[in-house]
Structure 1
């Protein structure tokens, strides 16, 4: 996205349209310009739901971009204007504004807006206070255990967001700073600080449209590089080159994918006289050859970010101090410190050109801007240092890099959605913190700050790691915008997957792998964030605004268009986690980890083992997934088109170069669709549309049908084709022979007329039985399984070997499962063991 490069051009293009004459009395017409001016007041129709309202006694109305509103040159929506009885009326298809002409400053007596909410007329008057704001986000989780601050025991004061159940939002931009019209737009003051500059948004309960309308004038959410959606390894630890090489080697040994390496502040010297919280010189004791270290990371296809605390300026012991002193025109012999000045363009330009950019050229991909600055700038007293440095660093990347800008930083306030990924700070290690973060993610989407990166597993406040808590946190992290584990300097807080016992290592590894499998879906939804202002983690009320459950179930959220997540945020009881999930009506929902199809329109209690999670997929969904990938740098990986139980569905898979700046216009989409009619399931992979640099012409596709019976036949483009069936997973897989992406592929899968339905949780039952039998053997090593229990354990594997026995083996398993107490009693097990086994498999 190139928001700021074109600001000057946008201003020039806008000027001819802003000098419209006052509207004559009793005259109505359709305008071809967005601006209506009457005396000291000016109104700009931005969308049918959004109107800008300005009053300025000097008539020096502002046409520069503000920190909030960066787009001024906009398409003009259709509206009418008229003046009758001294009142100006501006009417769009969604709202009607009335203003008393010549009445001066906006007051409750001279301006109002009418609109519809729930098909009922609502009248807003200036000064009305919202009653149902759905909240936005907050700068940091520092000091908070859950939502409560550890030091004062007060709840987090989450800022108001852009959405409200009232159906309207009023934004005051009157005091906000502006961008000047220089080549690199910089902070400037308003000419008349006594004027009024407001935005009124009328949307009823159409929350999605409100968010998209906001981006019309406030700018889009940039699409991060594809690698940002992989796994980030991060730890506050004085790592050395050797330690990090060993870490990466272990990731390779355990075959765990990794995309981003985060190196905290100890990459530079930190002791007095050589460094501190602020530092820019590599610690040669830990990294004797920084260039060689960075080269090693690139050889392992890793992206790297380094932690920065810029507040203390550039000290004379830094390697590049002389270059910076020369840039600033100061005498290096008489200067010990060049202080940080965020609003000083010369200082910030020198910071980039003499300090940061030389390191970027060696291999630093993006920066982690940690919080250390004073709250506000020294020259502009209300200029947030956090807000401003986020803009400066991101816009510098836009101006000077060929790769896609990415920034990892603290939340600075409204408008910071334009600078992507947030660092939420040092969270407490507790179930309360885990329980709070799903809600925290969701409300952040209400200010378009949908890319929070949390310290998964918690940062501080405990002397050891509860493996169960960490697993549940990681499972939530895999269904969050960014998956980044982190912890403070405590030798007991090791989160390397191999630091855990085999039981937890397996779940941790599989959770990371599942995140990578979802990458094509996640990346497509990230593009939707750019196009439609819908974050990855969305509150339920976006899709179901009239359902009270959508507001009451605060932790439940949609992960993109197709997945509903109800996080597990409390400890297990009797080796089971229980959650109460609300499944909205309108479609059925497939419980992914158990293979259960559930009716929509109900609240239901469900239980899960440690390796299972409450992820619900809209029935009939067809989603692009990866099978196994090492990282997300490539764009030609094989794709498994995964079909979930249901009658029909479709999905447009999005692709682009992955790390270029031209994704706005250079991309491709492939339509995937599925429909079941009678006993025939048709799956289509349409010809790819669009193009982007280095786009591969061919791709290997698989089609995988979940909760599937064994079919009678499979045809691809009219040709009979082989298939494989996984009896343990109850899934059908077809390798698609045609690889040319420009050609359509049509699969027709024909099932027997008496095919069994296996969407009743059978997959989980079979998996639980296999796991319980293994544990039973460990409890009683000499046990000899009887026919019933033995064939239950081997049922899935037997079906894989002999697909023609599918119906026979499934029916036998179900009979034995229903009679499980008797089956176990036949082994002469004691009642305690029988009770344990039954609990384990339910």
Structure 2
């Protein structure tokens, strides 16, 4: 049975029982080629029924999940509507052509340039109403890998009717729009980037200092001052575009790149390509000869990636020679806006498309760029650069939500300016909290402006903040095995590294309200602290929702009871920090000193890490630390890749017994690899650490209630110690806490007598920790 329902000027194509393409063309000409958005329309057979000239409608199409009604003529709200078969709203779940779904959960934006705080987010394809529409009318077709003008259709788009099956919807979006490529393993480590006039030696010394501080850096970015900016004759105009090394700062660029390679750095150079290649550039003579330009008259090579000849010279004569010398990929800092003509594709699309494909060809199928989001379909060209954000708490508070919603349009590899880029003021707590978010973000790229005081080097901060920054940067590097496994999962299984909570709990209202909380891979849930410390308590707070089950904080080993029928959690009486909702029995305010943020693992979670914090991110480690958070049953498949080869290590825990199995067809795992297990909240013969190899197993014993209570007391004691409140008030709180361990004192009731709202929250958090033990 055909999946196409067509008339002289319309065409409906069913891709799945939940996804349909809607086309109208007054000429009767329809587009069958791939487009900027679409890479595949062959989804196989679809069960549906069709009626023509029925009940006054020209066409009706019905599947199990939607019913389309069309009355003929150019698509409009008056003649085309679709009923989605979901009961998420009081009235019918009906979409009229051209109207937005009110429950859209957001997608992402091209940039956060100069945004201070929040900004409206463009729509994605996920909606609480159960349906969404994605327009593809204005995109270009792709033919033989190049953008070309498409058939002149008045309407071309896709109606998604997936209800709240968000994961299935994302997976089918990737089937439609193209898979997310594997990103190189080295990109999962720490990046150093700064807009600053480093000299060649200063930059090398900086990398050496990171090494001596035992802080791992995988990617070295050199911002725009790598090229000439000061000594260019005025007749050539702006020096934002440049392809000639600044020999004043970098007297021997080839040696500079070699030295970075000796230090195992992967290198990116910033480029603003809008100015083309002008006569002052080092590669200009070669470019002029290639393009037949009049070099004596300094005829410029105008930037135009639509021109195949310019494109050939742009890569072969300008970029490839520098890549041969050591540049791994390019930071495409395009800032010129949209194309001025409907006949020309947006330059950012051209840059992302051709640079990524070129980089992939030169790197054994693993491409990488750093560029801005150009629109739906941009996930095929990772990684995204979100722009020059302002250094404020408001900017930090927006980024977790912004990053998570990007998954709703398939854009899962955002790289933010961690720590912020411009303006702002020196705030160690803000810088640390931003770095903590960065470690649990898709890409951790530290960045700042040329201001001499805004650098993000940890040693520029006071001792405690510096130590915490160092520890988090080491943790990020140790997490590369876990991140690479999620990287492969995104590519192979269409499961994003970052997921909003509603992906896994779509029917829980709380999952939509805690907008800054998200899942980080299959095993971890992150609730970053993105607001200032309480100045009296010296503790940062975040309102979190704990889904069903039990959740362990990976930094404290404290176990929290999640939302579960029949188990009450003490209520938090204060409203949330961002004012978006009031907390209650299923939410809790979590307090943390600067040392950590809440990162929670559901009991049984298995997280592999590199043993050596200085392990090269691009090399598979010989030793792994496997963190097991509680003795609940679980199976985790850690996948690793080198080039195009993938190996899998399956770690299984069943009935308190764990085992390891390895599938390594290409032999990429180091011979004799050891897995060092660390057991959290349970032990093996009294031990929490031991080594296991493939084929061996262990059985563990859970921790006692007393151990949990002792840990909870220690956390509260630490927080009270740093609180700037009267000593007697601290003593009174501690006494109540200790009394609660031996007598039936209701700590939640006691908490309501505490005037300071955040101190009250600290007591309530503790009460929730010991209440679950009873």
TM-score normalized with structure 1 length: 0.78
Q: Deviations over 1:490-517 (max 9, x none)?
A: 1111321222232122101111112122
Does 2:19 correspond to 1:77? Answer: no
Q: How does 1:144-163 map to 2 (within 5 A)?
A: 144-147=115-118, 156-163=119-126
CA distance in 2: counterparts of 1:759 and 1:424, whole angstroms = 44
How far is the alpha carbon of 1:638 from its aligned partner?
Answer: 1.4
The equivalent of 1:191 in structure 2 is 151
Is the contact made by 2:93 and 2:129 (CA closer than 8 Å) also made in structure 1? no
* Unaligned runs of at least 5 residues, structure 1: 1-30, 148-155, 714-724, 726-731, 777-812, 820-834
How far is the alpha carbon of 1:78 from its aligned partner?
Answer: 2.8
How far is the alpha carbon of 1:524 from its aligned partner?
Answer: 1.6
The equivalent of 2:650 in structure 1 is 671
The equivalent of 2:207 in structure 1 is 248
The equivalent of 1:327 in structure 2 is 290
The equivalent of 2:556 in structure 1 is 594
How far is the alpha carbon of 1:767 from its aligned partner?
Answer: 7.4
Q: How does 1:326-405 map to 2 (within 5 A)?
A: 326-372=289-335, 374-377=336-339, 380=342, 383-405=345-367
Is the contact made by 1:645 and 1:706 (CA closer than 8 Å) also made in structure 2? yes
Equivalent in 657, 662, 667 of residue 682 of structure 1: 657
CA distance in 1: counterparts of 2:350 and 2:169, whole angstroms = 26
How far is the alpha carbon of 1:402 from its aligned partner?
Answer: 1.8
Q: 1:510 to 1:401 in 2, by over 3 A?
A: closer
Aligned to 2:657, the other structure's residue is in SS state strand
The structure number with the bigger radius of gyration is 1
Aligned to 1:331, the other structure's residue is in SS state coil
The equivalent of 1:53 in structure 2 is 22
Is the contact made by 1:580 and 1:603 (CA closer than 8 Å) also made in structure 2? no
The equivalent of 2:274 in structure 1 is 311
Equivalent in 567, 582, 588 of residue 604 of structure 1: 588
Is the contact made by 1:708 and 1:758 (CA closer than 8 Å) also made in structure 2? no
Q: Deviations over 1:173-205 (max 9, x none)?
A: 22222123x3xx222222324x32121111111
Q: Deviations over 1:602-649 (max 9, x none)?
A: 211222111121111112212222222422111143122211125222
The equivalent of 1:202 in structure 2 is 161
The equivalent of 2:710 in structure 1 is 762
Aligned to 1:656, the other structure's residue is in SS state strand
Q: Deviations over 1:76-117 (max 9, x none)?
A: 1332344354554444443343445xx333344544434322
Q: How does 1:293-692 map to 2 (within 5 A)?
A: 293-372=256-335, 374-377=336-339, 380=342, 383-462=345-424, 464-573=425-534, 574-601=536-563, 602-630=586-614, 631-657=616-642, 660=643, 662=644, 666-676=645-655, 681-685=656-660, 687-689=661-663, 691-692=665-666
Does 2:68 correspond to 1:68? Answer: no
Aligned to 2:255, the other structure's residue is in SS state helix
How far is the alpha carbon of 1:454 from its aligned partner?
Answer: 1.2
Does 2:243 correspond to 1:280? Answer: yes
Q: 1:504 to 1:82 in 2, by over 3 A?
A: closer
CA distance in 2: counterparts of 1:187 and 1:246, whole angstroms = 44
How far is the alpha carbon of 1:532 from its aligned partner?
Answer: 4.0
TM-score normalized with structure 2 length: 0.85
Does 2:190 correspond to 1:215? Answer: no
The equivalent of 1:804 in structure 2 is none
Aligned to 1:473, the other structure's residue is in SS state helix
Is the contact made by 2:390 and 2:422 (CA closer than 8 Å) also made in structure 1? yes
Number of aligned pairs?
A: 702
Q: Deviations over 1:314-365 (max 9, x none)?
A: 1111111011111111121122422211322221221101000111111111
CA distance in 1: counterparts of 2:696 and 2:716, whole angstroms = 37
CA distance in 1: counterparts of 2:451 and 2:673, whole angstroms = 46
The equivalent of 1:43 in structure 2 is 12
Q: 1:277 to 1:671 in 2, by over 3 A?
A: same
Is the contact made by 1:583 and 1:599 (CA closer than 8 Å) also made in structure 2? no
Q: 1:569 to 1:761 in 2, by over 3 A?
A: farther
How far is the alpha carbon of 1:472 from its aligned partner?
Answer: 0.9
Aligned to 2:492, the other structure's residue is in SS state helix
How far is the alpha carbon of 1:481 from its aligned partner?
Answer: 0.8
Q: Deviations over 1:373-415 (max 9, x none)?
A: x323355456322222111211222344425100101121222
Higher relative contact order structure (alpha carbons within 8 Å, sequence separation ≥ 6): 2
Q: 1:767 to 1:322 in 2, by over 3 A?
A: same
CA distance in 1: counterparts of 2:222 and 2:77, whole angstroms = 54
* Unaligned runs of at least 5 residues, structure 2: 564-585, 724-736, 744-758, 767-774
Q: What value does the CA root-mean-square deviation take over the aligned residues?
A: 2.9
